[in-house]
Amino acid sequence: MQRTLVILVLLSALAGCNRGPAPLKESNEPLRQYALRGAVLRLDPQGHIATIKNEKIEGWMESMTMDFPVKDEAEFAKLHAGDTIRATVFVQGLEYWVGNVQPEGNTK
């Protein structure tokens, strides 16, 4: 009896481990937009991630360096390490990304 119980517990635990991550649910939260100005430090072309040292983003966050996803291929192509940019940060629920990229010039 005890052996059967142990086997059932182990099988239940293994079944839980085989599940992938829960799919992201579409957010019912409104899409918010914030103006961003910052320096592009580096780019990850595979992940479409830009590491940006941004100035304070009014209404959202203080000045810091962080990774920003860039969903649109054409927007990502506008980014170059060392450039200062203006852009829009789009925020919906826990998801955020950068778009409307406008390069200001080289900061090197």
Give the pLDDT of the chain (108 residues) as one tens digit per residue: 666 554 555 555 555 544 444 444 566 889 999 999 999 999 999 999 999 999 999 999 999 999 999 999 999 999 999 999 999 999 999 999 999 999 996 655
CATH superfamily membership of 30-106: Copper binding periplasmic protein CusF (2.40.50.320)
Closest residue by Cα to residue 95 from 32, 20, 11, 12: 32
Task: Give how far Cα 60 sits from Cα of 32, 56, 87, 96, Å.
Answer: 10, 8, 14, 11
Structural domain spans, the chain? 30-106
